[in-house]
Amino acid sequence: MDIDLVYLWVNGNDPKWIAKRDACIGKPSDKQENCAGRYADSGELKYSLRSIEKYAPWIRKVFIVTDEQTPEWLDTENPKVQVVDHKEIMPKESLPCFNSNLIEHFLDKIPGLSEHFLFANDDMYINRPVSPATFFEADGLPILYVNRKPFRKLALYLRERLIGKPMSMYQLFVRNASELVEKHYGKYYGSKLHHNIDAYLKSTITYTNEKFAKDFEPMLQKHVRSTEDIQRVVYTYVAMAEKRGHCNFVSHKHSFRLHIDNRRLYEKFERYNPLFFCMNDSEYANDADRQCAMEFLERMFPKKSQFEK
């Protein structure tokens, strides 16, 4: 089968993009939804593509979804890569968009995207060789890699109502998706995405978008993340409910999330030697943390890929 790969990418250092963002949603703050770390570009995508070429050379085509930007190092003459602007896939009322939750609801609109595809943020990497069978079973259905959270609904209730500890925005995004699917299918899915490269069927995304069109409509004008957003895990939950995928619970040896502001996690990474890993920037990271992360990635993937000039 043909399998494509889709990235979301932004260069938060671009003056033109900064002016557009500031005019629409204001300057960055220390809040999770609009912090500098959400838009910072330190070259993560370049290293992610190096990991793809090294460990998944069978990928048919790479699509980079962005907002009137192109990585300066990218070889746009390479037929295996295509930059897709937000205007090509999103409605005018949603533009400009600085909300990845919303952008992800339009992946099925990418021109020429294959039915079987992978989705990644630009800070996600492969650490060992993988094959199509790593992401799709022989029946063509995606393998849904999630973290096991068997009592998540109860845990969130106790956290919020009894302990009085508010949920993070990410927890709210995921809960919104869980409750929406529960409303339609009568089952609550509490498992979270493994926060790494995920496999999808384009047809499942289209089906879900049509089924939940009225529920997704309020998001269309959310130019920045909001607590009412419905995270793309909704597509995984629908795949579970509709038997359109195979659930697979992961461990740190399979998928590891490295918060770059926590230097101790580099030692854990070496110990687990995961199949996939993510170098997560955030409102807690500083420029020194980002420099350390890039030095780590350069050691991991020093060889220039075909996607670079």
DSSP state of 205: H
Cα-Cα-Cα-Cα dihedral sign, residues 283, 288, 289, 291? positive
* Type and span of the H or E element at 145: strand 143-147
Residue 158, pLDDT above cutoff 80: no
Query: In this predicted structure, what is the pLDDT of residue 49?
Result: 98
Beta bridge mates, 146: 193, 249
Instruction: Determine the residue type at 175.
Output: R
Q: Which long-range contacts (CB under 8 A, 24 or more apart) does 80-89 make?
A: 80/306, 80/307, 81/307, 82/112, 84/110, 84/111, 89/65
118's CB contacts (< 8 A; 6+ apart) are: 3, 4, 5, 6, 59, 135, 197, 198, 199, 200
Distances (CA, A) of 189 to 15, 174, 179, 247: 42, 10, 8, 11
Residue 224 has pLDDT above 60, yes or no: yes
Q: CB neighbours of 136 closer than 8 A, spacing ≥ 6?
A: 1, 3, 116, 142, 143, 199
Residues contacting 195, CB < 8 A, separation 6+: 255, 257, 278, 280
- Cα R_g (the chain), whole angstroms: 19
Region 244-267: what's the mean pLDDT?
Answer: 95
Mean pLDDT of the chain: 92
* Residue 35 pLDDT class (50, 70, 90 cuts): low
Q: Are 128 and 143 in contact (CB under 8 A)?
A: no
**Residue 62 bridge partners (DSSP):** 5, 81
The whole-number pLDDT of residue 16 equals 93
Alpha carbons 224 and 105: distance in angstroms, whole number: 14
As a three-state string, the secondary structure of 262-294 is CCCHHHHHHHHCCCEEEEECCCCCCHHHHHHHH
> Which residue is associated with the tokens 């746009």?
76
> d(Cα 159, Cα 115) in Å, to the nearest integer?
39
Q: Among 2-11, 33-42, 196-205, which stretch is predicted with the lowest mean pLDDT?
A: 33-42
Report phi then psi at 75, rounded to 5: -85, 95
Whether 32 has a pLDDT exceeding 70, the answer reads no
Percent of the chain with pLDDT over 70: 96
Q: What span, in angstroms and rounded, lies between the C-alpha atoms of 36 and 32?
A: 9
Q: How far apart are alpha carbons 225 and 208 in whole angstroms?
A: 21
pLDDT at residue 147, rounded to an integer: 87
Give domain 3-300's CATH superfamily: Spore Coat Polysaccharide Biosynthesis Protein SpsA; Chain A (3.90.550.10)
The one-letter code for the residue type at 278 is C
What mean pLDDT comes out for the span 78-90?
98
DSSP state of 166: P
pLDDT digits (tens, 9 = 90+) for 125-149: 999 999 999 999 999 999 999 988 7
In the chain, domain spans: 3-300
Whether 215 contacts 271, CB under 8 Å? no
